[in-house]
Amino acid sequence: MAEMKIPEQKKIRVIIDTDAKNEVDDQFAIVQAVLSESFDLRALIGAHFGEEKSPHSMQDSYEEIENVLSLMGREDVKVLHGGASALTSETLPVISEGAQYIIEEAMREDERHLYIAFLGPLTDMASALLMCPEIATKDLTVIWIGGRDWPAGGWEYNLKNDILAANVILKSQLELWQVPRNVYRMMPVSHAELWTRVRPHGAIGKYLAENVVNFNNEWPSRPREFRILGDSPAVGLMLYPDCGEWEWKPAPELDEHMNYVHNGKHRPIKVYKNIDARFILEDLYAKLQLAAQGE
């Protein structure tokens, strides 16, 4: 029987920085990344998501990552603490083991490309860059799920949790792929879809599906029968960078209202205009099924 094995030298190095306890979509991205054979998943970093929902949001994220890995039987994956709060200045980093590890991995001699995906604020990437500016010259790509629609910008949840960090990255020389809000919202799934395609596949499948339904039912303002898996595009783009149309655009800066300021001062960044939800979701469903079958 043929095996879907990827040679080690063909694997990409991956770090995922996630505010996993903020809502219920990060968990799907974590699971898909862990199950992706072409990823050398170097670490998962727990990210803060402000103080509105919890006074210790980073620790909540860290513990949720551990919970997901436990349900998968994958406690071997490295889990690290990110910064506990947003930057207070564009020149002062928030020191954390997550930011330190980003530096360590970026500076490590390895011919394989490094992808660092941010499913929440950019605090840990900005901090790593401020602590070690040399990483901007290394062979790495930052993928960010965040920022409002182009070209105007405006309020967006991941961005508002650390506007200063986003500005540090936008003004830098790092290769940045941005998946703005209008694009990451192209990932809806229904309760019925989750119940038939996710829930049957092991303890983690049951948790993922039931977690969405319970979360939605908790408050009247939440969706009735669907959820947007807005963080999963980060995994899809690491699997297949052309999993959506994109354009290189000069990086803007951000004002205090989170609007884009297009001053033309900074290097181009890749901005996605749409995403192939079919590719991403079918890959997730298939990997969950194969994992539950022990393959």
Predicted pLDDT at 2: 63
CA proximity to 134, closest of 81, 172, 163, 170: 172
Beta-strand (E) ranges in 170-259?
175-179, 188-190, 226-228, 246-250, 253-254
Does residue 210 sit within a domain? Answer: no
Measure the CA–CA gap between 30 and 68, rounded to whole angstroms.
8
Q: pLDDT at position 1, please?
A: 43
Which of 117, 153, 108 is closest to 34 using CA atoms? 117
> Is residue 242 assigned to a domain?
yes
Beta-bridge mates of residue 81: 46
Supply the CATH number for residue 35's domain.
Answer: 3.90.245.10
Domain count, the chain: 1
The secondary structure element, H or E, covering residue 66 is: helix 57-72
Decide: residue 80, CB within 10 A, 0-12 exposed, 13-18 middle, 19+ buried. buried
Residue-level pLDDT, tens digit, the chain, 295 residues: 467 789 999 999 999 999 999 999 999 999 999 999 999 999 999 999 999 999 999 999 999 999 999 999 999 999 999 999 999 999 999 999 999 999 999 999 999 999 999 999 999 999 999 999 999 999 999 999 999 999 999 999 999 999 999 999 999 999 999 999 999 999 999 999 999 999 999 999 999 999 999 999 998 889 999 999 999 999 999 999 999 999 999 999 999 999 999 999 999 999 999 999 999 999 999 999 999 998 6
> Do the domain assignments include residue 221?
no
Is 205 among the domain residues? no
Residue 36 inside a domain? The answer is yes
- CA pair distance 281, 275, nearest whole angstrom: 11
**Domain annotation covers residue 285:** no
What pLDDT sits at residue 75?
Answer: 97
Query: 223 preceded by cis ω (within 30°)?
Result: no
Residue 252 lies in a domain: yes
The model's pTM = 0.97
Per the domain annotation, does 169 fall within a domain? yes
* Domain of residue 131, residue span: 10-189+229-274
CA distance 142 to 117: 6
What is the rounded distance in angstroms from the CA atom of residue 232 to the CA atom of residue 29?
Answer: 5
Residue written as tokens 């290394």? 138
Q: Which pLDDT does position 220 carry in this prediction?
A: 86
